[in-house]
């Protein structure tokens, strides 16, 4: 594991950065959704804010979705199901891979595909691979997949992680790899000042679609509390979990405006989680913090790397009595909850958590590995010269 140390102010390199994302994260579609408000959440006009690297001495381009015949789509989906990553989508970007200085990816699904194409084509472009879910499920993978993924991971120049818990597992599996912790951040330019919230009934908001949301625990806690009103904005809640419970509403937010209105009406945002390694829920937490709403979250996934228990309230995963106590505390002590929201919001913005720092870290790492590669080439050339002279 190493720490990035390149000073961007003194680096004059013009990096050609290619961002390889999932097929459904086409930058053109993303920008259109951002413009018309249908891209729900606090977002940038480029996917995950990666376009901000253009202001940091980079020339950024993005992977593109291609028109497909039915047969082509079936082939792509079939290979994705077999391999666990979208090889065909990556193969279609192979020429862009070759013309870049460095390739950034957002999840392991993308970097495994990029590495596979790079191996097959002999592409030497540097790869930064961001890992999200892979090491949560590593031990459940088949032996052939573990072998294949290990082979591909060794082609990735730097593995980045959103959580120290995730990186610790990776360090035991790949001790020779370059592993770096990069805090995830969303655009933090706009904030809503926290305020004391006295709503009756207490309005609880829960959002998100991550696979590790623990909806059952939250619903069980709210079920017997008629003075609680829970709204869940998600498409992943099993209907049987909420059926027949009058103080629980489940729906999708169809626009950013709907999400913003939900934050404005909420007494607290609750992020219930199952045990995980990858900072599940961090996007929802950061959105709530920017909206000035107090947050309760399950204490798992390395979330304390982002916010301390002076800034949000943590409860053990799956602990119903602890979650109920936390909700009652926010209800009964709204002034204290507001102070926590103020402290949490102070963690966001310049020099703290946010899209700018997230992208800065990618640029720093890119400079690191390109400089290290150049130094290695120089050293190799010197050795060859000495051998020739000898």
What's the confidence (pLDDT) of residue 377?
A: 55
Q: Rounded CA gap, 213 and 222, in Å?
A: 16
Q: Pull the structure tokens for residue 199.
A: 């709503």
Cα dist from 315 to 250, 325, 334, whole Å = 23, 9, 18
Half-sphere exposure for 183 (CA within 13 Å, toward CB): 18
Q: Rounded CA gap, 289 and 144, in Å?
A: 42
Once rounded to an integer, what is the mean pLDDT over residues 38-67?
A: 95
* 311-347-300 Cα angle (round to 5): 50
pTM value surpassing 0.85: yes
* Mean pLDDT computed over every residue of the chain: 92
Q: Rounded CA gap, 218 and 239, in Å?
A: 14
* 62-348-334 Cα angle (round to 5): 135
Phi, psi of 174 (to 5 degrees): -130, 70
What's the confidence (pLDDT) of residue 198?
A: 82
Share above pLDDT 90 across residues of the chain, in percent, rounded to a whole number: 88
Cα dist from 96 to 63, 111, 154, 243, 267, whole Å = 8, 15, 21, 49, 48
Whether the predicted pLDDT of 389 surpasses 90: no
What's the confidence (pLDDT) of residue 373?
A: 58
Q: How confident is the model at residue 390 (pLDDT cuts 50, 70, 90)?
A: low
> Closest Cα to residue 282, out of 255, 307, 258?
307
Question: Using one digit for the tens of pLDDT, what is the confidence trace for 291-350?
Answer: 999 999 999 999 999 999 999 999 999 999 999 999 999 999 999 999 999 999 999 999
DSSP-derived secondary structure for 358-371: HHHHHHHHHHHHHH
Q: Which residues in 15-71 belong to E strands, given as ranges?
A: 15-20, 58-62
Pair 61, 19: CB distance under 8 Å: yes
Instruction: Say how far residue 279 (Cα) sits from the centre of its chain.
Output: 8
């Amino acid at each position: 594991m190493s720490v990035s140390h390149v000073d961007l102010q003194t680096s004059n390199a013009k990096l050609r950065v290619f961002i390889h994302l999932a097929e459904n994260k086409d930058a053109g579609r993303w920008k259109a959704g951002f413009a018309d408000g249908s891209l729900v959440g606090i977002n940038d006009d480029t996917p995950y804010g990666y376009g901000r690297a253009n202001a940091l001495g980079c020339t950024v381009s993005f992977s593109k979705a291609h028109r497909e015949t039915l047969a082509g789509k079936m082939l792509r989906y079939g290979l994705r199901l077999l391999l666990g990553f979208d090889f065909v989508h990556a193969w279609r970007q192979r020429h862009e891979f070759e013309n870049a200085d460095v390739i950034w990816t957002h999840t392991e699904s993308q970097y495994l595909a990029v590495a596979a194409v790079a191996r097959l084509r002999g592409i030497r472009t540097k790869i930064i691979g961001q890992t999200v879910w892979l090491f949560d499920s590593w031990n459940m993978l088949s032996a052939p997949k573990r072998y294949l993924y290990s082979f591909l991971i060794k082609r990735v120049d730097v593995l980045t992680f959103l959580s120290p818990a995730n990186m610790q597992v990776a360090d035991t599996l790949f001790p020779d790899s370059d592993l770096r912790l990069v805090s995830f951040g969303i655009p933090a330019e706009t904030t809503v000042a926290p305020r004391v919230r006295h709503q009756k009934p207490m309005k609880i908001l829960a959002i998100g679609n991550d696979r590790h949301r623990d909806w059952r625990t939250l619903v069980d806690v709210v079920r017997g509390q008629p003075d609680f009103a829970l709204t869940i904005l998600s498409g992943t809640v099993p209907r049987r979990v909420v059926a027949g419970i009058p103080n629980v509403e489940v729906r999708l937010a169809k626009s950013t405006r709907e999400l913003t209105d939900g934050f404005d009406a909420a007494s607290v945002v609750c992020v219930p989680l199952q045990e995980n390694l990858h900072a599940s829920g961090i996007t929802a937490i950061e959105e709530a913090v920017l909206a000035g709403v107090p947050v309760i979250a399950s204490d798992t996934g390395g979330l304390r790397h982002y916010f301390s228990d002076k800034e949000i309230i943590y409860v053990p995963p799956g602990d119903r009595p602890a979650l109920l106590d936390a909700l009652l505390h926010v209800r009964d002590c709204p002034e204290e909850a507001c102070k926590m929201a103020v402290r949490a919001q102070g963690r966001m913005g310049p020099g703290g958590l946010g899209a700018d720092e997230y992208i800065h870290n990618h640029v720093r790492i890119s400079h690191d590995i390109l400089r290290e590669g150049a130094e290695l080439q120089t050293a190799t050339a010197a050795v060859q010269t000495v051998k020739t002279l000898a």
